[in-house]
Amino acid sequence: MKKIAILLITIVAASISMAQEKPNVVIMMVDNLGWGELGCYGGGILRGAETPRLDRLASEGIRFLNFNVEPQCTPSRSAFMTGRHPIRSGTTKVVWGMLYGMTQWERTIPELLAEQGYATGMYGKWHLGDTPGRFPTDQGFDEWYGIANTTDEAMYSSHYQYDPEVSVQPYVVEATKGKTPKRVKKYDLKARALIDEELTNKTIAFMKKNVRKKRPFFAFVPFTHAHLPTLAHPDFEGKTGNGAYADVLSEIDHRTGQILDVIDNLGIRDNTVILWLSDNGPEEIEGYHGTAGYWRGNYFTALEGSLRVPALMRWPGKIPAGRVSNEIVHMVDVLPTLARIAGAEIPKDRIIDGVDQLDFLLGKQKKSNREGFPAFNGDDLFAYKWRNWKMHFIELESMFGKPARLNMPHLYNLIEDPKELYPVDKVDASASWVFPVVLKKVVEFQKSLAMEPPIKLGTPDPYVPSKKR
């Protein structure tokens, strides 16, 4: 019996040791912050607010110049969570007044990491379902504090002739796995200005709790800034003297720094993977508008300003410090990359569009494992990006404009024409060789949709895929 007891103790101790060796993962995702806002991307002081903490973070790991997302909030977050293009998941657009979000059939990052012994916590905006069965705590998170939908709902109760009897009354909520989210308070303009401070404090408490327990953790922090209404915390209101947007930019930098400081103070810096990024390109609505800097366009389009976002990643001793890369990486690549880091297996019963980028991140190879991707806006293929080329099938200059379906696709060279103003096919035929290359990739992707039919928007649970594959 004594030998058996010793053996059991040894097994348990080994299991705990292995759990401690798994790196913590902290992902901070801001909302609608353009490529050109941070100092390390040419913004910062030019946008009225220095961003010293984020600029330092950029120097401590890799700064992506070509990290790509989806054109809208819901599809970007779906791509992140599942490693699948949203056209497959029925999460292609922001909608109101109907069932939306990921079905229970989808496999998410927190679900994969939880299976590896990770504690999982989310603090912020979800926007992937607002009904029972589709909250974060139904999709792999142990706990959640934040908002279910979009931040502009905070404006509703201040709008002209707002009627709470017939309209949406948004709330800040909190939940634990297996329980219905509880309403904490109304999400109005007052709550909107304070919420990112709350999200930061909740994240810090979560990290401290799990360090005490010696348990690896995944903290997902989807902040609400800089989404409209762009209102800074009272401590930052007027701080820069350069307007509300600059005040919010200063707060974003500060909140990031608070989380990074606690990671250092807890002694887990070297064993914590940090990914900081934006979910979309900049806002277009006047008064809240941002900038994509070097690129052109706002979210809800397929222009580079919509698809390219600031993204920084740090893993001390693993990811070489001071790297800057223009290699193409996409939001769907996060899941397979984190899965490998955590020792998890990606699902094999469905198409995963993401590719494992770990060797690229660690500097073992110069090139990304991705050369391009399809750019859907809603359910329509607007463009295909490949290497330094972008082929547009539907062009849209503004979220308020009318999409123009092209008889002949327009091809842009993103090195020579970063603003996507001069389609090369209109100038000469020197790039005609690119057309069959890209169109073949489009056909291959369309074949994959036929092989595994997409989930339709509004599909209820339980969802069972067809056996076509």
Q: Three-class SS string for 393-420?
A: EEECCCCCCCCEEEEEEEEEECCCCCCC
Q: What is the mean pLDDT of residues 196-218?
A: 98
pLDDT bucket at 425, cuts 50 / 70 / 90: confident
The CA-atom distances, in angstroms, between 332 and each of 87, 329, 338, 402, 449 are 12, 8, 11, 28, 16
Q: What is the mean pLDDT of residues 435-452?
A: 97
pLDDT bucket at 315, cuts 50 / 70 / 90: very high
- C-alpha to C-alpha distance for 130 and 355, rounded to whole angstroms: 29
Q: Give the predicted TM-score (pTM) of the model.
A: 0.94
User: In this predicted structure, what is the pLDDT of residue 164?
Assistant: 87
Number of H helices, E strands in the chain: 12, 15
Between 37-41, 106-110, 464-468, the lowest mean confidence (pLDDT) is in 464-468
- C-alpha to C-alpha distance for 315 and 320, rounded to whole angstroms: 8
The label of the residue with tokens 């792999």 reads: 140
Q: What is the mean pLDDT of residues 352-375?
A: 98
Rg of the chain over Cα atoms, rounded to whole angstroms, equals: 22
User: In this predicted structure, what is the pLDDT of residue 20?
Assistant: 52
The CA-atom distances, in angstroms, between 455 and each of 100, 133, 459, 463, 469 are 11, 17, 7, 9, 14
Q: Are 415 and 294 in contact (CB under 8 A)?
A: no
User: In this predicted structure, what is the pLDDT of residue 46?
Assistant: 98
Task: List the chain domain ranges.
Answer: 22-371, 373-451
Nearest partner of 301 among 315, 280, 317, judged by Cα: 280
pLDDT bucket at 335, cuts 50 / 70 / 90: very high
CATH of segment(s) 373-451: 3.30.1120.10
**One-letter identity of residue 118:** Y
Phi, psi of 464 (to 5 degrees): -125, 120
Q: Quick one: 22-371 is in which CATH superfamily? A: Alkaline Phosphatase, subunit A (3.40.720.10)
Nearest partner of 189 among 231, 227, 226, 148, judged by Cα: 231
Across the strands, what pairs with 275?
A: 27, 313
Predicted confidence (pLDDT) at residue 17 exceeds the cutoff of 60: no
Between 8-17, 96-105, 402-411, the lowest mean confidence (pLDDT) is in 8-17
Tens-place pLDDT, residues 371-411: 999 999 999 999 999 999 999 999 999 989 999 999 999 99
- C-alpha to C-alpha distance for 37 and 309, rounded to whole angstroms: 10
Tens-place pLDDT, residues 50-91: 999 999 999 999 999 999 999 999 999 999 999 999 999 999
User: In this predicted structure, what is the pLDDT of residue 468?
Assistant: 58
| Ranges assigned E (strand) in 60-118 | 62-68
Dihedral sign for Cα atoms in the order 293, 297, 301, 304: negative
Q: What is the mean pLDDT of residues 157-170?
A: 91
The CA-atom distances, in angstroms, between 273 and each of 64, 218, 358, 391 are 15, 9, 12, 34
Q: Are 126 and 135 in contact (CB under 8 A)?
A: yes
Instruction: Give the DSSP H/E element, type plus range, for residue 451.
Output: helix 434-451
Across the strands, what pairs with 272?
A: 24
Coil/strand/helix, residue 103: coil
Angle ∠(27,255,29) on CA atoms, nearest 5: 30
| Lookup: tokens for 112 | 């994969």
- C-alpha to C-alpha distance for 93 and 90, rounded to whole angstroms: 8
Predicted confidence (pLDDT) at residue 9 exceeds the cutoff of 90: no
Predicted confidence (pLDDT) at residue 185 exceeds the cutoff of 60: yes
**One-letter identity of residue 335:** L
- C-alpha to C-alpha distance for 86 and 332, rounded to whole angstroms: 10
Q: What is the mean pLDDT of residues 170-194?
A: 97
Q: What is the mean pLDDT of residues 290-314?
A: 98
Residue length of the chain:
469
Nearest partner of 124 among 247, 31, 244, judged by Cα: 31
Tens-place pLDDT, residues 27-56: 999 999 999 999 999 999 999 999 999 999
User: In this predicted structure, what is the pLDDT of residue 430?
Assistant: 79
For all residues of the chain together, what is the average pLDDT? 94
